[in-house]
Amino acid sequence: MFESQSVEDQPLLEPRQLAPKERFSLLWREWLKPFLVIAITLLSFRSAVADWNHVPTGSMMPTILVGDRIFVNKMAYDLRFPFTRFRLAEWGAPERGDVVVFLSPRDGKRLVKRVIGLPGDQIQMRQHRLIVNDEAAEYAPVDPGVATHLEERTLEDHRLHSESLALGETHPIMTSLWLPSLADFDPVAVPDGHYYVMGDNRDDSADSREFGFVEASRILGKATAVALSVDPDRHYTPRWDRFFRNLP
């Protein structure tokens, strides 16, 4: 008669060691491939559909503050193949007064400025007053709420105005009391397929007055709102009232 062995007495089977190729195949299927699919999908979405950009400078104050993260509609004017400037379709064009994100003609850096001149426009400025196609922009006192998050020293050294361009929306601008270095420029004609852009902080902005016209293909999208905002001078405290605020 054979004696039965209990489960405890039975020898344990050693787990089979996976070969290096099998280990890599398992790692690829379970981790790397899903992560890669998610990353490519997210990056493609940000490249062609919508993006959110951090703003590190004050060239668009008081409209956009340092520490704002702005929402950019990449499909405002066209649809492009992800990671390229190749247009798959086009259904619109920037309008005067739009805030756009584009690649600088000077060094290729991503910038945000306001469209002042359209193709065919003639632009000039006299003592901070824009003249578009011989029609002067209108200026008025700014809404006090615009200055809510500006430093006291900034308010002492600058004037705030509400600017209304011909056939454009009204928006705030800021001019320096002490450094009006870019207050005037002679008439310039905007060539076809190009745009003239300026910062709302008129005396502290590198824009078309320095690097010239912006080719339409360099415009990546339209900035429409502040997604979120933090104050870097106050330990990155959130500016809750600026969250999800539309840009004028």
Per-residue confidence band for 165, with pLDDT thresholds at 50, 70 and 90: confident
Does the active-site annotation cover 113?
yes
For residue 198, give the nearest of 210, 190, 215, 186 by alpha carbon: 210
Which has the minimum average pLDDT: 15-24, 53-62, 124-133? 15-24
**Number of domains the chain is built from:** 1
Q: Which residues pair with 99 in a beta bridge?
A: 114
What pLDDT digit, counting tens, does each position of 227-243 carry? 999 999 999 999 999 99
Q: Please enumerate in sequence order all residues whose Cβ is within 8 A of that of 45, keeping only pairs 6 or more positions apart, or say none.
A: none
Considering 74, 113, 205, 208, which one is annotated as catalytic?
113
Structural domain of 242: 20-246
Please say whether the dihedral angle defined by the alpha carbons of residues 32, 34, 37 and 43, taken in this order, is positive or negative.
Answer: negative
**Does residue 223 form part of some domain?**
yes
Domain assignment present for residue 6? The answer is no
pLDDT band at 189 (very low <50, low <70, confident <90, very high): very high
Question: Could you tell me if residue 10 is inside a domain?
Answer: no
List pLDDT tens digits, range 106-162.
999 999 999 999 999 999 999 889 999 999 999 999 988 888 899 888 888 999 999
Look at residue 29 and tell me if it is in a domain.
Answer: yes
DSSP single-letter state for residue 201: B
- Annotated active-site residue 222? The verdict is no
**CA-based Rg of the chain, rounded to a whole angstrom?**
27
For the purposes of burial, counting CB atoms within 10 Å of the CB of 166, is it exposed (0-12), middle (13-18) or buried (19 or more)? Answer: middle
Contacts of 102 (CB under 8 A, 6+ apart): 110, 111, 112, 113, 197, 214, 218, 219, 220
Is the CA virtual torsion 186, 189, 194, 200 positive or negative? positive
pTM confidence score? 0.85
Q: Check which CATH number belongs to the domain holding 169 and give it.
A: 2.10.109.10
The residue annotated as part of the active site, out of 4, 33, 59, 217, is: 59
